Structure 1
């Protein structure tokens, strides 16, 4: 009889611990979900701001010159090739690449997402 009471107590404790573990797991999962939503909201807000504020006054099909995997140049000269050539001549060792504003925005988007550990390349 005494053994049955001890077994019941042990089973009760195991049951309580199991229920507690489920509750804690559910709470942690909810916290992770909320944190992920916050990050997604922050990313979306930042992406909208980037799209609005990057390259003001330029249309997505206009050309810019990317300098050494870094910043971008734009000139009132409509010939991006001339801008690229002159900048490379003035700045020895600098390599430039011509691209559209839309491509440049996509680069910034990828860099932003990478800073959050998210990759668009799969």
Structure 2
């Protein structure tokens, strides 16, 4: 992932098993059209060390805010730090949140862009 926008030089060098080598360099413009993958399910503390947190991988941003709400509209998690992923616990009591569907609100801004808002749902599944 590129951390910044701009024009960069990208070079590729190759060498085959016969010793023939070549290389090429090109200018590549990286724009602010960042694709963000937001998972829709996670399984905290199920013992497999996979999908244990609700993590939205986002890089190169200037601003980030994530809020998670339960089905009654109560805030259960919030963070302005993209490395502080939701582990399925209530942020103020550290109690496990129950299985179910939660609503998220993600607000972010990349350098030179307007603030973007993404909303959706994530399902928390506890496997025993």
* TM-score interval (norm. to shorter): under 0.3
Structure index of larger Rg: 1
Bigger share in strand: 2
